[in-house]
Each structure stands twice: as C-alpha cells, then as structure tokens.
C-alpha cells in the first residue's frame, strides 16, 4: 500500500516583495560604496575633532572659531609631517628598492656558508624572490587602492566639508543619524550614536597617539643602533599599529632582516628592541593612553589584550 505525501510551500506576495527590496537595497549600497566610505571617514574624523572643539567651546571659544582652529591645526600638522618625512622617506625607499637584489644575494651567500650541506639555499632563494615580487605587487596594489579611495582632490574635499559641517553643529553627528531614522526609533538611535561617537572619537585620538609614540620609539632605537632605513622601518611600525596583535609582529620582520644583513649581532639587538617596545606598548603605553582618551580602566585593557593575545595564539 503506497502512501504519497506531498508538501506544499506557500510563499506570500509580501515575502517576495520584501526579498526583492532587500536585494535592491544591497545592490544600491554596493553601487554607492565609495560614497558610503566617504561618509564613514567623515563621521570618524568629525568624532575625533568633536572632543577638542567641545573643550574649546566650554572655555567660551565660539564653536565656529574652535572648529576652524582645530581643522587648521590638523592640516598644518599633516602638511608639516609630509614636508619633514616625505623627502628622506622617498630616498630611503628608493635605496631599499635598488639594494633589494643585493640583499637577496647576501642572504643566499650566508646560507651557503652556514647550511650549504643541506642544499636548502636554492629553495629559499626562490622563496625570497617570490616574496620580493609579491611585495612589489602588493605595494603597488595598496598604493593604487589608496589613491582610488582617498587620492582624489574631490573626495578629500568632500570628506573635509562633511566632517566640518558635522563638527560645527553641536551634536552634529547625532542629528545627522536621527534625520535618517524613523520617528519611533529616534530616541534609541540618539542615545546609541552619542555613546558610540564619544568612544570612536576617543579611540581614534588614542590610536593616532600610540602610532606616533611607537613610530618614534622604533626610529630612535634603530637610529641609536645604527640600522639603515630607520625612518622607513619606523613608519611601517607606526602604521601597522592599527592592526591588533599581528601588525607589530609583521612590522618587526623587515627591521630584523635588514639589521641581520648588516651584522648578526645587530639583528639580535633589533629583535630585542622590538620585543621591548611591544611589551612597553601593551602594558604601559596602550592602557594609559586609552584610559585618558576612551575612559577605560588600564587593568581591564591589559586583561583584554592578554585574552586577545591568547586567542590569537601569541601566548
């Protein structure tokens, strides 16, 4: 005796309409992704600038004057940093790229002297050549991406204008998001944006300060040790501080290799230098800076970093 069971799935018209609307919304967001990126960057910059502007405003400085002062100061610092750092940095990068084949030959020669009997130098030489080629391609890709996203004068101007307007209005970020929110959700969004804005602004100011401190420490340490390309390596260390846990490790690798090529003992000293700076950052600089900028307890920050390091497999 055969029992045939058939199941019927009913999909309502409203479900189909909602699904289509979701797809259209996602497609629309994908099409305007560059504009969304500009808005996000503008909000982050405004959140970082709001703190100093509010501080000046509480000292009876007119808000518009305070915003102009803060933005002019930021632009002046940026222009000064570019003028001071870019010429020697460009020269070091040029020297490093021209000397890179010589570095590979020196590594290969050392391997032949130390481990020639194991016949590994050929494979490692091929591996290093691949690293060099991929590094060049990756660098070109990164720079092209940066140029496409932020390099245009128009995009930079739009970011500056939007962030300026968000800052010059009191609670401008909150007002902006409330204007995009339905009436029944405005109070919740208002409280949420205010809390997040304070934390993001404090985090960005703190992170920039940490990047500057670490970059300076690496530059001073490498310069005192006599390592070549200290400015380039310090800039790499400062930028990669934005990447938790893994960034400092990646930034240390080229410095250790270049120092080792100068002298094996120097490579060991540079390794110790990076370890000391990393420990100092993890347990002194980062907790204290974030305590001042974000308001988190240093002990909580240290415990959180230990947990993150454990999960990342570093400890």
Task: Give per-residue pLDDT as tens, 64-87.
Answer: 898 999 899 888 887 887 777 777
Q: How far is CA 276 from the centre of its chain?
A: 22
Identify the burial level of 163 via C-beta atoms within 10 angstroms of its C-beta, where 0-12 means exposed, 13-18 middle and 19 or more buried.
buried
Give the pLDDT of residue 115. 53
Distance CA 98, CA 204 (A): 36
Average pLDDT in the 242-254 region? Answer: 82
End-to-end CA distance of the chain: 65
Mean predicted lDDT score pLDDT of the chain? 76
**Domains of the chain by residue range:** 202-315
137: Cα separation from own chain's centroid: 20
Query: Rounded to an integer, what is the distance from CA 202 to the centroid of its chain?
Result: 15
Q: What percent of the chain has pLDDT over 90?
A: 9
For residue 296, the tally of other CB atoms under 10 A from its CB is 17
Q: Please give the C-alpha separations between residue 271 and each of 167, 218, 238, 266, in angstroms, as whole numbers.
A: 43, 11, 17, 9
Identify the pLDDT of residue 223. 92
Confidence of residue 300 (pLDDT cuts 50, 70, 90): low
Q: Range with the lowest mean pLDDT among 151-160, 269-278, 306-315?
A: 306-315
Predicted confidence (pLDDT) at residue 43 exceeds the cutoff of 50: yes
Does pLDDT of 38 surpass 70? yes
Chain-centroid distance, C-alpha 71? 21
**For residue range 110-149, what is the model confidence (pLDDT) as tens digits?**
656 555 544 544 555 555 555 555 555 544 444 555 455 5
- Check the CA dihedral 244-73-161-79 and report its sign: negative
User: What's the rounded Cα separation, in Å, for the pair 110 and 127?
Assistant: 15
Residue 107: pLDDT band (50, 70, 90) is low
Q: Determine contact, residues 178/190, Cβ cutoff 8 Å.
A: yes
112 dihedral zone (left: phi>0; alpha: psi -120 to 50; beta): alpha
Closest listed residue to residue 294, CA positions, set 233, 209, 183, 171: 209
Q: Residue 213's pLDDT is what? A: 92
Q: DSSP 3-state assignment of 138?
A: helix
170-227 tens-digit pLDDT: 888 888 888 877 777 778 777 777 777 777 777 778 888 888 999 999 999 999 999 8
């Amino acid at each position: 005796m055969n029992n045939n069971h058939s199941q019927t799935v009913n999909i309502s018209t409203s479900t189909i309409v909602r699904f289509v609307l979701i797809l259209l919304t996602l497609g629309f967001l994908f099409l305007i992704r560059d504009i969304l990126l500009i808005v996000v960057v503008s909000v982050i910059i405004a959140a970082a600038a709001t703190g100093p502007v509010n501080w000046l405003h509480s000292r009876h400085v007119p808000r518009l004057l305070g915003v102009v002062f803060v933005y002019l100061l930021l632009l002046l610092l940026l222009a000064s940093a570019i003028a001071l750092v870019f010429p020697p940095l460009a020269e070091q990068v040029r020297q490093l790229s021209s000397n890179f084949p010589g570095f590979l030959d020196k590594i290969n020669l050392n391997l032949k002297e130390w481990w020639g009997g194991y016949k590994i130098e050929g494979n490692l030489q091929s591996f290093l050549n691949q690293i060099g080629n991929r590094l060049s391609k990756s660098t070109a890709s990164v720079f092209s991406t940066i140029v496409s996203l932020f390099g245009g004068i128009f995009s930079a101007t739009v970011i500056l204008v939007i962030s300026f307007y968000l800052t010059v209005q009191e609670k401008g970020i909150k007002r902006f998001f409330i204007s995009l929110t339905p009436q029944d959700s405005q109070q919740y969004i208002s409280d949420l944006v205010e809390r997040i804005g304070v934390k993001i602004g404090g985090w960005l100011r703190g992170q920039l300060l940490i990047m500057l401190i670490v970059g300076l420490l690496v530059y001073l340490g490498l310069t005192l040790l006599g390592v070549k390309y200290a400015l380039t390596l310090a800039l790499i260390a400062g930028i990669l501080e934005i990447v938790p846990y893994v960034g400092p490790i990646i930034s240390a690798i080229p410095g250790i290799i270049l120092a080792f090529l100068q002298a094996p003992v120097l490579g060991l000293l540079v390794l110790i230098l990076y370890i000391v700076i990393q420990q100092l950052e993890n347990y002194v600089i980062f907790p204290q800076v974030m305590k001042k900028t974000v308001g988190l307890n240093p002990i909580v920050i240290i415990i959180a970093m230990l947990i993150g390091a454990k999960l990342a497999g570093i400890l």
